[in-house]
Amino acid sequence: MTKLLTDARSIRIKGRSFLAVMLSPDLPLDDWLVRLDDLAARSAGFFLGRPVVLDVTDLEIDRAQLKELVAELGKRNVSIMGVEGGRPSILGPGLPPALKGGRPMSDFELPQQEPVVEVAGSPAPAEVRQALQSLVIREPVRSGQSVIFPEGDVTVIGSVASGSEVIAGGSIHIYGALRGRAMAGSVGNASARIFCRKLEAELVAIDGIYKMAEDMAPDLRGKAVQLWLEDEAIKAEKLI
């Protein structure tokens, strides 16, 4: 008997882009996991609730090693949404899907109207200047809040509290104390810089290279500072 579907319902399919954290392990994996644990211990909640992509390009591992790595990351509450750069021979059932075509920056145009940055359930007004592709936050960033802007620079007219974070595709300018996390050049911009009026950061990062609070020179604490990337290391100097 043929059943006629008289109540047709459409399936809605939409495209949407998200900013994901890219993890690029290196060998030996045990040593890399130790360094990852160190980062997680010194910056609690860094991976919590974040989409994470595992980049295994040119990493000489087999399927069993990849499965073990994904399992070890799962034990650390790091959920892998996809694998980039993996050979077909190491991918398959029981592993995250292969991802292709990741772009360092989004393709959509910046909105004409003033956008709203969602911050811990309470919208904070933000101003976008299209020509410069920059985001201006006119109030302090409070603990637990995240400001993410992969299209360009972020300027905060105020302080960034401990337990909060600012992530920018370009440079970060903070006209107050930086007590939380600041990650500039998040989409592969090694020329990005971080500027702040008072350095008390939990973590700073530029193009994926990070430095923790205890790794920073004591004479920079509480000072106006700029940070940049040079020879795969974060450099810093006081601002006059």
Structural domain spans, the chain: 21-99, 118-238
Give the contacts of 96 (CB within 8 A, at least 6 positions apart): 54, 70, 80, 81, 82, 83
Better-predicted residue by pLDDT, 15 or 79: 79
What's the average model confidence in pLDDT over 83-109? 67
Summarize pLDDT for 199-223 with one digit per residue, the tens.
999 889 998 888 888 888 888 899 9
Length of the chain: 240
21-99 carries CATH number 3.40.50: no
Task: Flag whether the pTM goes above 0.75.
Answer: no
**Residues 41-56, mean pLDDT to the nearest whole number:** 72
Beta strands in the chain (DSSP E): 21-23, 52-55, 80-84, 98-99, 116-119, 122-129, 134-137, 146-149, 153-156, 165-168, 172-178, 181-184, 194-199, 203-206, 209-212, 225-230, 233-238
Q: Report the DSSP beta bridge partners of residue 181.
A: 165, 203
pLDDT at 15 over 80: no
pLDDT, residue 131, reads: 40
CATH topology (fold) of 118-238: Pectate Lyase C-like (2.160.20)
